[in-house]
């Protein structure tokens, strides 16, 4: 048997990719935001106080891992969770790390310009 034979590890590749995608605090915070429903990048910017380019980079990782999907509504792109079962894993990881699963960042920023926080009446 070749010591570098990765074929036996192939069944673990998807698991490893998923855990890598979850291994960043901003990506975990994005998932918490999306736990409340779909959100646009400008909303995430306001909640996380991070630049759009940085958030988009993290969203790209989550999208490549098939954890999120998006759709366009006018100028805005909204993101949502593909499978809510991911929250079971996130919550369990918080419990294992002895964190408080209820302790989260405030999800309703005061100065959020997004259409979700500031709906425009279309009359």
Residue 98 pLDDT level (bands cut at 50, 70, 90): confident
Contact 14, 22 (CB under 8 A): no
87 phi/psi in degrees, rounded to 5: -70, -25
Compute the distance between CA of residue 71 and CA of residue 75 in angstroms, rounded to an integer: 11
**Tens of pLDDT along 106-121?**
667 777 888 778 776 4
pTM metric for this prediction? 0.83
Compute the distance between CA of residue 27 and CA of residue 30 in angstroms, rounded to an integer: 5
Burial class (CB in 10 A: 0-12, 13-18, 19+), 83: exposed
Domains in the chain and their CATH numbers? 15-123 (1.10.10.10)
**Tens of pLDDT along 22-61?**
999 999 999 999 999 999 999 999 999 999 999 999 999 9
């Amino acid at each position: 048997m070749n010591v570098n034979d990765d074929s036996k590890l192939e069944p673990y590749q998807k698991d490893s990719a998923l855990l890598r995608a979850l291994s960043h605090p901003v990506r975990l915070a994005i998932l918490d935001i999306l736990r409340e429903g779909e959100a646009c990048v400008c909303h995430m910017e306001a909640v996380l106080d991070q630049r759009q380019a940085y958030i988009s980079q993290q969203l790209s990782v989550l999208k490549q891992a098939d954890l999120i999907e998006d759709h366009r509504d006018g100028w805005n792109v909204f993101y949502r969770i593909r499978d809510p079962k991911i929250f079971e894993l996130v919550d369990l990881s918080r419990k294992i790390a002895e964190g408080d699963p209820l302790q989260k960042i405030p999800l309703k920023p005061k100065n959020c310009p997004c259409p979700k926080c500031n709906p425009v009446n279309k009359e």
